[in-house]
Amino acid sequence: MSYKDIITIESGKRSGKPCIREMRITVYDVLSYLASGMTYEEILNYFPYLTKEDILACLSYAADRERQTLLVN
């Protein structure tokens, strides 16, 4: 499954930031939890409506954004 099937952007939700499956949790939120040292399991326990695929989609989205930035520069 592609992150494009999971990550959504709506101008009226969370100031247009990329969110997971039209919910109010952003890619940034998930990446911040991972960066702070939380494991996948901890995130999934704290947010039971998320799936492992959601977390992987956030990572894939971030990697694609980074790749796009490198191509522009």
What pLDDT does residue 73 have? 60
What pLDDT does residue 4 have? 93
Low-confidence ranges of the chain (pLDDT < 70): 70-71, 73
- What structural domains and CATH numbers belong to the chain? 3-67 (1.10.10.10)
Q: What is the pLDDT of residues 27-41, one digit of tens each?
A: 999 999 999 999 999
Can you tell me the distance from the alpha carbon of 24 to that of 18, in angstroms, rounded to the nearest whole number?
Answer: 9
Closest by Cα among 1, 7, 5 to 62: 7
Measured in residues, the chain has a length of 73
Tokens 């919910």 correspond to what residue?
23
